[in-house]
């Protein structure tokens, strides 16, 4: 068993990115919009800020009261869309229930949508056209590349069909010629399907849900889940100790997929800048 070390890959991604950033003549701008005082969201925003500061980005954390109207929020997004010094815009989820997340996300110009969640970017991904892609699935693909794990012709089973991880990852894998099975809460005989996976990705948010009865010997296991236990420690959706002696590669929790998500946000901000520069229509 070998560990897929997200921290190590993150450092490589950021080092390559710093080299590219050194060749442009201005500071890139990243804006994270937070609505309300969700404690977990505040932690994630600080992680993004730390990454942005390391890369020399102009980072703005715009925090709005939880009762902001949708019209006022859309107006703020419009201002950022029209600001040439802002390259990337991200809505920190979750947002209050009185706001329509789809409308809010789609209000962001697709070429500033560093979360890759606008309908345009999702459509471009499905059609295998260069686009901004959600950071976590993009980070998973980058990690597999770093460790020379080829997905061509492999059976990839993804458990979890979220817009942020499962669905975009399925499309990224298909675009790389993998054979993909996407499972979810209504899937029957789940373990019979996951045991056929050459590469198994779990993103469901259930503590240690996946044990050795779900995993084929020699499989590559990517654990996207981050769950906080009663003692305050973190664990994934996979029972690491139960499967570690039968897998070929596995991501630890923490220090697996998590660091990649933040690193790829930095890369997406640079890519958003490049897309604006290269698209003559913008």
* Choice among 92, 105, 138, 154 that is catalytic: 92
Burial of 163: CB neighbours in 10 Å, binned 0-12, 13-18, 19+ = middle
Dihedral over Cα of 240, 177, 205, 264: its sign: positive
Contacts with 188 (C-beta within 8 Å, 6 or more apart), sequence order: none
* Choice among 115, 198, 223, 239 that is catalytic: 115
How far apart are the C-alpha atoms of 205 and 208, rounded to whole Å?
9
Are 115 and 104 in contact by the 8 Å Cβ rule? The answer is no
Distances 181 to 47, 216, 236, 238, 256 between C-alpha atoms, Å:
32, 15, 21, 18, 23
Per the annotation, the verdict on 48 as an active-site residue is: yes
* Choice among 10, 48, 216, 271 that is catalytic: 48
Per the annotation, the verdict on 92 as an active-site residue is: yes
Are 111 and 282 in contact by the 8 Å Cβ rule? The answer is yes
Helix ranges, 135-256 (H):
135-146, 166-175, 190-194, 240-243
Are 21 and 270 in contact by the 8 Å Cβ rule? The answer is yes
What is the DSSP-derived secondary structure letter of residue 30? E
Catalytic sites, residue numbers: 48, 92, 115
């Amino acid at each position: 068993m070998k560990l897929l070390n997200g921290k190590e890959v993150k450092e490589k991604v950021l080092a390559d990115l710093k080299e590219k950033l050194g060749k442009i003549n201005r500071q890139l701008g990243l804006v994270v919009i937070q609505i309300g005082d969700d404690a977990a969201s505040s932690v994630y925003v600080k992680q993004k800020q730390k990454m942005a500061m390391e890369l020399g980005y102009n980072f703005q954390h715009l925090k709005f009261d939880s009762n902001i109207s949708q019209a006022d929020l859309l107006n703020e997004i419009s201002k950022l869309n029209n600001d040439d010094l802002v390259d990337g815009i991200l809505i920190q989820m979750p947002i209050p229930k009185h706001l329509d997340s789809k409308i809010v996300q789609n209000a962001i110009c697709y070429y500033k949508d560093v979360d890759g969640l606008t309908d345009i970017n999702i459509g471009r991904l499905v059609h295998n056209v260069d686009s901004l892609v959600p950071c976590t699935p993009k980070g998973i693909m980058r990690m597999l590349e770093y460790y020379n794990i080829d997905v061509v012709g492999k059976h990839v089973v993804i458990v979890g069909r979220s817009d942020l991880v499962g669905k975009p990852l399925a499309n990224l894998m298909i675009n790389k010629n993998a054979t993909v099975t996407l499972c979810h809460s209504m899937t029957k005989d789940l373990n019979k399907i996951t045991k056929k996976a050459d590469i198994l990705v779990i993103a469901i948010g259930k503590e240690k849900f996946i044990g050795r009865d779900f995993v084929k010997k020699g499989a590559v296991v990517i654990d996207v889940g981050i769950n906080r236990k009663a003692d305050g420690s973190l664990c994934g959706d996979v029972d690491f100790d139960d499967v570690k002696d039968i897998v070929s590669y596995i991501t630890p929790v923490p220090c697996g997929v998590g660091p990649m998500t933040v690193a790829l946000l930095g890369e997406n901000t640079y890519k958003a800048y490049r897309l604006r520069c290269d698209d003559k229509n913008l």
